[in-house]
Amino acid sequence: MTPLLSVSNLSFHPKRHWLSGGSEDFVLAPVNFELHQGETMAIIGENGSGKSLLARLLVGVETPSGGQIALNGETLVHSNRRLRYQRIRMIFQHSKGSLNPALTLGVQLEEALLLNTQLDEQERQRKIQQVLTQVGLLPDHQHFYRHMLSEGQHQRAAIARALILDPEIVIADEPFAALDPSVRSQTVNLLLKLQKDLGIGFIFISHNLGIVRHMSDRVLVLSQGKVVESGKSEVVFSWPKSECTQKLMYAYQSLTQK
């Protein structure tokens, strides 16, 4: 079966500026993995290991130095960003900050449809209502401004923005980090449900190994820009091979057993 996402030899070397001298630059060594429809992959690793950079390369915000990304067997051309943003959508850590305070949620959802689809006004309205309902908000929330939404609703609004263009893959950078525990578990359950209902591929970055273990089918472990371990989550968590994974697990266990 053709994988939903196939990443081969994806690498990143920062462009050197003559003023930067000989300082050590961060390099993301070739990354390879496959993700199948309906699967969830977690990217874990210590601070500064390149997790967010990898997410930004996948979504198309950063330009890779080498390698290929194929979606359903079709190689993505980096210059075609519009199509890329439509098919692979990102949820950012600070969902509140990603909403424009001056525009209602509905206007922000409609903007994406106006820019990327040929839907007429009635169809756009139907789509907005559908996506709001999917994420557990009410159709009337489209008239709300950012300050009128609760923390949990901000997170749902961010997910609605990611889903409005019917993406094949959603990537989330630390989507749970800034949330209080009850909103966090609601968000985890919502994402699991949406993924099951819509069959999308989901990639997320998290330091919370409890959530990673609960949510992900596969896990990719980064250390200093290199993939040091990857595989099925149950295998990686039961028999961590790399020293880095063992350390991450040990640190997480000592944190949660306090």
Smallest gap, in angstroms, from Cβ of residue 49 to ligand ATP?
Answer: 4
Residues that bind ligand ATP (CB under 6 A): 14, 26, 45, 47-53, 62
Q: How far is CA 142 from CA 108, 121, 136, 160, in A?
A: 9, 15, 13, 11
**Burial profile 27-56: b = 16 or more Cβ within 10 angstroms, e = fewer:** ebeebebebebebbbbbbbeeebbbbbbbb
The residue among 51 and 84 lying less far from ligand ATP, judged by its C-beta, is: 51
The residue among 30 and 38 lying less far from ligand ATP, judged by its C-beta, is: 30
3-state secondary structure (DSSP) of residue 150: coil
The residue among 45 and 240 lying less far from ligand ATP, judged by its C-beta, is: 45
Smallest gap, in angstroms, from Cβ of residue 79 to ligand ATP?
Answer: 18
Burial class (CB in 10 A: 0-12, 13-18, 19+), 125: middle
Strand partners, 223: 226
The residue among 23 and 238 lying less far from ligand ATP, judged by its C-beta, is: 23
The residue among 48 and 210 lying less far from ligand ATP, judged by its C-beta, is: 48
Smallest gap, in angstroms, from Cβ of residue 228 to ligand ATP?
Answer: 13
Smallest gap, in angstroms, from Cβ of residue 50 to ligand ATP?
Answer: 4
Smallest gap, in angstroms, from Cβ of residue 245 to ligand ATP?
Answer: 14
The backbone torsions φ and ψ at residue 59, rounded to the nearest 5 degrees and listed phi first, read -80, -15
Q: Are 142 and 166 in contact (CB under 8 A)?
A: no
